[in-house]
Amino acid sequence: MNKLLLSLLFILFVATTSAQKDYNIFRENENSKHQLGINKFYFVHHTFADSFFMTELYKQLSYDDMALILKQVYDGVTEKEKVNVEYKIDKPSDARIAYFFKEHEKNGKMFIMLTNFSNATRKFEHKPDSKDQLARWYFIKGEKLVYRKDLYSKKKESEKKKGETYELIDYYLFDDNLENDKFIKPLIDKLLNSNDKNTNKLYGYLYLSEFHLMNNDMKSSEIAIKNMEKFFEESTDIPKGYSLIVNMAKTEYEIMKRI
């Protein structure tokens, strides 16, 4: 994997550069439009979190930056062509993220993200150890982009039903089984109508926002996020570290507005 990443990152591409010069976007095809049939919501949901929050790049990027980058990736990755993004960090290494398509023997079409970010050191490295290297691969199932661990199975569904309600909501939202989508909104309503003042209800507002984004209802998503912020600010039970969840919900919404 490490050799593959390095070979991808040093290919010469046609470059699109940000006005701030903080990052460069390299597309093999600068004129392509989206060809993989992925719904924008599912694309943004996965790639914004893994590209920007898993790596902490969100700290140096604006909503406009993130939306521009993901739009270039969304349009630029085809079955034959890749997109690379490089971010200026300097120490110990600049950040490099590659996005590309691949066929999987068993589960079909895949969208892959490879980085030089080390999960061990929590930094971008010149040559990260392959076992610690941040990588994501998602399966393209119809218009859904599905993380490999979220592929539907009855066993996994049964396990989720034994956990917290928000865990089951998350699974139904992002698995590849369209038949269980009808359970999402009733489960969210059940969570939000409870008397809970804890993180469970906070997740309820998060998934309500995402449910509306999934249905392209931006106004309702915005209202859900405002209620989420109010609930978090007024709660005495939720640890302050959960402000990151609120931040991520706002970021996802802001990117969807722009992309």
User: What pLDDT digit, counting tens, does each position of 33-79 carry?
Assistant: 999 999 999 999 999 999 999 999 999 999 999 999 999 999 999 99
| Helix segments in the chain, DSSP class H | 2-9, 40-48, 63-76, 154-161, 165-174, 184-192, 199-214, 218-234, 243-258
**Quick check: helix, strand or coil at residue 110?**
strand
Same domain, 177 and 128: no
**What's the sign of the alpha-carbon dihedral 46, 49, 52, 55?**
negative
CB atoms within 10 A of CB 242: 15
| Helix segments in 145-198, DSSP class H | 154-161, 165-174, 184-192
Mean pLDDT throughout 4-18?
A: 36
Q: What is the pLDDT of residue 194?
A: 86
User: From CA 94, how far away is CA 74, in angstroms rounded?
Assistant: 23
The closest of 81, 51, 80, 55 to 68, measured between CA atoms, is 51
Residue 124: φ, ψ to 5°: -80, 130
- Out of 15-19, 43-47, 117-121, least confident range: 15-19
Same domain, 114 and 178: no
Same domain, 239 and 214: yes
Residue 231: pLDDT band (50, 70, 90) is very high
Residue 21: pLDDT band (50, 70, 90) is low
Report field, pTM of the whole predicted structure over 0.85: yes
Looking only at the bridges linking them, the beta strands covering 108-118 and 23-27 are unpaired
Same domain, 37 and 135: yes
Q: What is the pLDDT of residue 19?
A: 40
Look at the chain and report how many structural domains it folds into: 2
Same domain, 23 and 99: yes
Mean pLDDT throughout 204-233?
A: 97
Same domain, 54 and 126: yes
Final residue in a domain of this structure, among 100, 124, 149: 149
Same domain, 75 and 110: yes
Same domain, 179 and 201: yes
Q: What is the pLDDT of residue 18?
A: 39
> Which tens digit of pLDDT belongs to each residue from 125-161?
998 888 999 999 999 999 999 999 999 999 999 999 9
The closest of 65, 66, 99 to 84, measured between CA atoms, is 99
Q: Is the preceding omega at residue 92 within 30 degrees of 0, hence cis? A: yes
Final residue in a domain of this structure, among 149, 174, 208: 149
Residue 61: φ, ψ to 5°: -120, 145
Final residue in a domain of this structure, among 107, 134, 149: 149
Q: Which amino acid is residue 69, in one-letter code?
A: I
Same domain, 182 and 141: no
Q: What is the pLDDT of residue 198?
A: 86
Same domain, 75 and 19: yes
Same domain, 109 and 205: no
Q: What is the pLDDT of residue 11?
A: 32
Residue 105: pLDDT band (50, 70, 90) is confident
Same domain, 105 and 221: no
Domain that holds residue 176: 152-258
